[in-house]
């Protein structure tokens, strides 16, 4: 257990995703010759337990971006990074501003700006920060207001650019069940006008609300792919969803890799936390202890992944009548629909080939490759 995250394991999972994905994106964008812009909305700090705010999203981002810039520059390439941190609360901003501007370094093209006000009111400054840059926008509100899609659409539409958003489902799920008209109307900006009538009554409420939100999110940014990662509390209740929007198949693949690692890590940390709570209540430890609980959690997570992979395999079987198609067209559609990685999509093709359902085209002409590449045709046997 990481002590600074004790009791807020869901925050650790969120920071895991932010750190790992930002590392991947920063290296790729900067190595590719892009300037990189990082926008942090609702920056905080909130519930930070460290004097240097190292457990906050803004310091995690600065740490990752400075390291990426240094490594890219060491390879002989230019690397310009611009950051904008937005916070409305005056007390939080008073902590945020000196903490982040201490890293403002124009001489080395590591630029930091702040904005004290509503995220929705920062759109013009955000757009200036994004100019001529690949942009990642991280939106981490404490509720569901302050980022109405109609108001922040120019931020979402920036290309090249991607968005990570913390959708606070725990709050949304409760307050969308309110009978207060004003409260219900406050969701129009993220769920769309008439959302109550469009909410599918035939699916679980969480699934229905996520479908509405994801569609509005997709439309706001013109994203080709929108994924959402549920992060649960210790109690096994969803606390929030990390929603990711991109127009890039490469980004899609990178995010699925990070998501897979994050959910495995989060599952084990929740198991450790549950065991610690049980020991505190009873004064006794389980015969297998926290390590045993974590091992069981890992097996449970892997079983869930295996089940999803089976669903993805069935989906590909259904697609076979419309084949042949290059693998480059198959795997993005699979990853868009299912929580699987590109390597899982390759494994599924190998399994279907061994079963005689598709051709192992990646092994023709004397090739010794064991798995398909993007150019290989996926075709029925």
Res 113 pLDDT > 90: yes
pLDDT of residue 43: 97
8 A C-beta contact, residue 136 and residue 39: yes
pLDDT over 50 at 271, yes or no = no
- Report whether 96 contacts 85 (CB < 8 A): yes
Beta bridge partners of 83: 38, 112
Confidence of residue 366 (pLDDT cuts 50, 70, 90): confident
pLDDT surpasses 90 at 308: yes
Among 116-120, 258-262, 274-278, 369-373, which is the least confidently predicted range?
Answer: 274-278
Q: In the predicted model, what is the mean pLDDT of the chain?
A: 91
Question: How much is the pLDDT for 5?
Answer: 79
Distance CA 16, CA 20 (A): 6
| C-beta separation of 378 from 372 below 8 A | yes
Q: What is the pLDDT of residues 115-164, one digit of tens each?
A: 999 999 999 999 999 999 999 999 999 999 999 999 999 999 999 999 99
> 324 preceded by cis ω (within 30°)?
yes
Nearest Cα neighbor of 265 from 27, 19, 67, 51 is 19
Least confident residue range of 43-52, 67-76, 285-294, 306-315: 285-294
How do strand 161-167 and strand 238-246 relate by DSSP bridges?
Answer: antiparallel
* pTM (whole model) above 0.75: yes
Instruction: Tell me what pLDDT residue 295 has.
Output: 56
How remote is the C-alpha of 129 from its chain's centroid? 22
Q: Is the model's pLDDT at 265 over the cut of 90?
A: no
Report how far Cα 121 is from the mean position of its chain's Cα atoms.
24
pLDDT at 17: 95
Segment 189-204 mean pLDDT: 96
DSSP string, 354-375: HTTSB--GGGGGG---SS--TT
pLDDT of residue 290: 46
Q: Give residue 289's pLDDT.
A: 47
The reported pLDDT for the residue numbered 237 is 67
For residue range 224-256, list pLDDT tens digits in order.
Answer: 999 999 988 655 567 889 999 999 999 999 999
CATH number (3.40.50.720, 2.40.10.10, 3.40.50.1110, 3.40.50.150) of 3-251 reads 3.40.50.150
Which of 152-166, 219-233, 266-280, 341-355 has the lowest average pLDDT? Answer: 266-280
Residue 207 confidence (pLDDT): 96
Closest CA to 258 of 348, 164, 126: 164
Q: How far, in whole angstroms, is CA 141 from its chain's centroid?
A: 15
Note whether 169 and 206 are within 8 A (CB): yes
Query: In the predicted model, is pLDDT for residue 294 greater than 60?
Result: no
Q: Per-domain residue ranges for the chain? A: 3-251, 301-378
Reported as a pLDDT band with limits 50, 70 and 90, residue 23 is very high
Window from 198-202, 205-209, 271-275, 279-283 with minimum mean pLDDT: 271-275
Q: Please tell me the predicted confidence (pLDDT) of residue 30.
A: 97
In the chain, the percentage of residues whose pLDDT exceeds 90 is 79
Q: How far apart are CA 228 and CA 241, in angstroms?
A: 6
Sign of the CA dihedral running 18, 24, 25, 31: positive
Phi then psi for residue 8, to 5 deg, are: -140, 50
If you average pLDDT over residues 84-92, what whole number do you get?
Answer: 97
Strand positions, DSSP E, the chain = 35-41, 81-87, 110-116, 133-139, 161-167, 225-232, 238-246, 325-326, 377-378
| pLDDT value at residue 96 | 97
């Amino acid at each position: 257990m990481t002590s600074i995250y004790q009791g807020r394991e869901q925050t650790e999972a969120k920071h895991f995703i932010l750190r790992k994905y930002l590392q991947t994106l920063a290296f790729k964008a900067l190595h590719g010759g892009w300037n990189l812009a990082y926008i942090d909305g609702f920056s905080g700090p909130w519930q930070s337990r460290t004097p240097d705010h190292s457990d906050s999203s803004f310091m995690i981002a600065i740490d990752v971006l400075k390291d990426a810039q240094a490594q890219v520059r060491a390879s002989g390439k230019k690397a310009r990074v611009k950051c904008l941190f937005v916070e409305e609360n005056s007390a939080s901003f008073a902590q945020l501003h000196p903490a982040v501007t201490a890293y403002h370094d124009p001489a080395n093209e590591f630029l930091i700006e702040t904005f004290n006000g509503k995220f929705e009111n920062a759109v013009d400054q955000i757009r200036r920060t994004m100019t001529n840059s690949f942009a990642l926008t991280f939106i981490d509100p404490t509720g569901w207001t302050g980022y109405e899609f109609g108001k922040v659409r120019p931020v979402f539409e920036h290309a090249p650019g991607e968005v990570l958003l913390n959708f606070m489902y725990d709050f949304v799920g409760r307050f969308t069940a309110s009978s207060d008209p004003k409260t219900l109307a406050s969701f129009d900006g993220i769920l769309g006008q008439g959302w109550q009538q469009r909410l599918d009554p035939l699916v679980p409420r969480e699934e229905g609300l996520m479908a509405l939100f994801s569609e509005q999110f997709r439309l706001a940014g013109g994203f080709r792919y929108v994924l959402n990662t549920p992060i649960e509390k210790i109690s096994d209740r969803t606390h929030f969803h990390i929603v990711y929007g991109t127009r890039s198949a490469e980004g899609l693949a990178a995010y699925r890799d990070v998501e897979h690692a994050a959910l495995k890590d989060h599952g084990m940390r929740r198991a450790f936390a549950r065991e610690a709570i049980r020991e505190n209540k009873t004064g006794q430890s389980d015969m297998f202890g926290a390590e045993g609980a974590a091992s069981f959690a890992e097996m449970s997570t892997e079983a869930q992944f295996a089940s999803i992979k089976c669903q993805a395999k069935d989906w590909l079987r259904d697609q076979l009548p419309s084949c042949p198609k290059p693998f480059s067209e198959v795997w993005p559609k699979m990853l868009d629909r299912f929580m699987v990685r590109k390597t899982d999509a390759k494994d599924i093709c190998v399994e279907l080939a061994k079963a005689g359902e598709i051709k192992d085209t990646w092994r023709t002409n004397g090739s010794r490759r064991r798995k398909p590449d993007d150019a290989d045709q996926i075709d029925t046997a």
